Amino acid sequence: MRRLSRSLRHAARGIFFTLQNERNFQVEVVAAGVVLLLMAWLPLSRTEDFFLIIAMMAVLSLELVNTAVERIMDILKPRVHPYARVVKDVMAGAVFVASLGALLLGVLIFSPHFF
């Protein structure tokens, strides 16, 4: 039980670090909060709820991974390998693709309730 508690503390510390230091993560958390409020307010099906939750968690998880990779790449300074920029750009691209997918999913699910 002590190991689980310690693991949860480390995970929370990583999430809070990212929340305090990464503007994109802050925006994504606010967006996830808005989605959760809309999910509670609108009569969505369980399937729609499921897909929205998966999309939110994918974006937030990828942003956490992106932050970790960026910090690893920053350790390589001052001698940054040319591929360090590529790695950072690829991770940013992964977050962008997931965010775009989540946005499209949200539009598909929420638009019939508003239009």
The Cβ of residue 60 has, within 10 Å, a number of other Cβ atoms equal to 20
What CATH number is given to the structural domain containing 23? 1.10.287.3610
Count structural domains, the chain.
1
Query: Residue 82 — pLDDT band, cuts 50, 70, 90?
Result: confident
Whole-number pLDDT of residue 80: 77
Whole-number pLDDT of residue 16: 98
Whole-number pLDDT of residue 77: 76
pTM: 0.94
- Distance, in Å, from the CA atom of 17 to the CA atom of 101, rounded to the nearest integer, reads 26
Q: Which domain holds residue 53?
A: 2-114
Cis peptide before 78 (omega within 30 of 0): yes
Section 74-82 average pLDDT: 81
The angle subtended at Cα 90 by Cα 25 and Cα 29, nearest 5°, is 10
For tokens 């693709």, what's the residue?
Answer: 97
Per-residue pLDDT reduced to its tens digit, 6-54: 999 999 999 999 999 999 999 999 999 999 999 999 999 999 999 999 9
User: Does residue 105 carry a pLDDT above 90?
Assistant: yes
What integer best gives the mean pLDDT of the chain?
96
